[in-house]
Amino acid sequence: MREFFAIACAIVAALAFNYAIYLEKKAVGALPEVQFKHLWSTTKAFITNWPWMWAQIVNVVGFALYSLALTLAPVSIVEPIIASGVAFLAYLAIKHLGEKPRRIDIAAIGMSVLGVILIAVSLAQGLPRDKLSHGWEIPIFSAVVIGLAVLIPLLMRGSPGRLSVGLGISVGLFFGIAAVYQRLVMLYLVHINTHIELFVIFLVACIITYVIAFVLLQAALQKGMAIIVAPIYNGLMELVPIMIGTLALGEVFPASNLLKAVRVLAFALIMTGTIILSMRAEAGDISVVHPASEAAPQGMST
């Protein structure tokens, strides 16, 4: 029952996270543009905006369930389920934000949902035992992922559309490495008496990377459509933990060859779906309605 409870927590967390993104997308149109040089005034505007704060309450609920899921299941299992919540966001964006999908977008969302179902099937033999063995792979992977997260938005500056894609990539990379750190925090919490220094290191790293990703997400939502930004960062925040979990944390595949094939197919379906959605162009044939932006005060940058 442990694995099914973990999956249930991850599914509800995925719904909460993506509903929060929908609420944030509606709210950020009426808020100042995210700029680090005006950090205090921008922060004050955000935290005094009730619609945006309500989104954060939903986020906290999702994060609590997500943390519980990570305690019970490997990060390489939890993250794909979290990523599949983009299907719910796509529905909300189409229904309430006026973001129009193509037929291939709908097919891509279906791939993500089917991938989650196949992940559940691949757990028929249970979950692998938790392992704390890791070496220098973690800092090496961290340096590569964070370096790319910083570099890519700088290379994609130019137009709001390109920058929103670059920011979405950066958000996904930061969220992905933060998920790895959070998984390590949960594992070291059980052995805190003998590994307190590593617990503290990964806790600090987890907090910093999550905060950076969260701030960049607000900027990305201001510059691009939710149905584009979310799949981009969802795919990457899933790919990073899968790679690191498998290569550095000893999270093994099922013993059965059939279940291995099911797990690989599940990952492939989710990744293919998110890539298709992320490649969608913000072109003139897309009709977008931003309800919150209609109420934006004059003279405020959005």
Query: Given this model, what pLDDT does residue 251 score?
Result: 63
Query: Given this model, what pLDDT does residue 128 score?
Result: 55
pLDDT at 75 over 70: no
> What kind and span of H or E run contains 173?
helix 160-190
Q: What is the mean pLDDT of residues 246-273?
A: 79
Q: Is residue 238 part of a domain?
A: yes
Digit-coded pLDDT (tens) for 6-65: 889 999 999 999 999 999 988 988 888 877 666 778 888 898 999 999 999 999 999 899
- Please give the Cα distance from 97 to 224 (Å, whole number): 12
Query: Given this model, what pLDDT does residue 301 score?
Result: 39
Q: Is 274 left (phi over 0), alpha (psi -120 to 50) or beta?
A: alpha
Q: Is residue 295 part of a domain?
A: no
Q: Is residue 15 part of a domain?
A: yes
Q: Which two tokens stand for residue 218?
A: 């607000």
The amino acid that residue 215 corresponds to is: V
Query: Given this model, what pLDDT does residue 129 score?
Result: 55
Domain enclosing residue 18, as ranges: 2-281
Nearest to 198 by CA among 211, 210, 212, 184: 184
Q: Is residue 288 part of a domain?
A: no
Instruction: Report the interhelical angle of 226-247 vs 75-84 (nearest 10°).
Output: 170
pLDDT band, residue 295 (cuts 50/70/90): very low
Nearest to 35 by CA among 178, 290, 222, 294: 222
* pLDDT top residue among 161 and 181: 181
pLDDT band, residue 290 (cuts 50/70/90): very low
Nearest to 278 by CA among 238, 222, 225: 225
Q: Is residue 272 part of a domain?
A: yes
Question: Comparing 3-17, 39-53, 194-208, 279-293, which segment has the lowest mean pLDDT?
Answer: 279-293
Q: Is residue 300 part of a domain?
A: no
Q: What is the mean pLDDT of residues 177-186?
A: 86
Q: What is the mean pLDDT of residues 251-269?
A: 82
CA angle 253, 255, 261 (to 5 degrees): 60
Residue corresponding to tokens 């005034």: 41
Q: Is residue 292 part of a domain?
A: no
pLDDT band, residue 264 (cuts 50/70/90): confident
- Please give the Cα distance from 204 to 184 (Å, whole number): 12
- Count structural domains, the chain: 1
pLDDT at 280 over 90: no
Nearest to 120 by CA among 236, 243, 7: 7
Q: What is the mean pLDDT of residues 192-220?
A: 88
Residue corresponding to tokens 């005094």: 48
Mean pLDDT rounded to a whole number for the chain: 79
Q: Is residue 294 part of a domain?
A: no
pLDDT at 289 over 60: no
Query: Given this model, what pLDDT does residue 288 score?
Result: 43
Which residues, in sequence order, are CB contacts of 286 under 8 Å at separation 6+?
99, 100, 225
Query: Given this model, what pLDDT does residue 274 score?
Result: 66
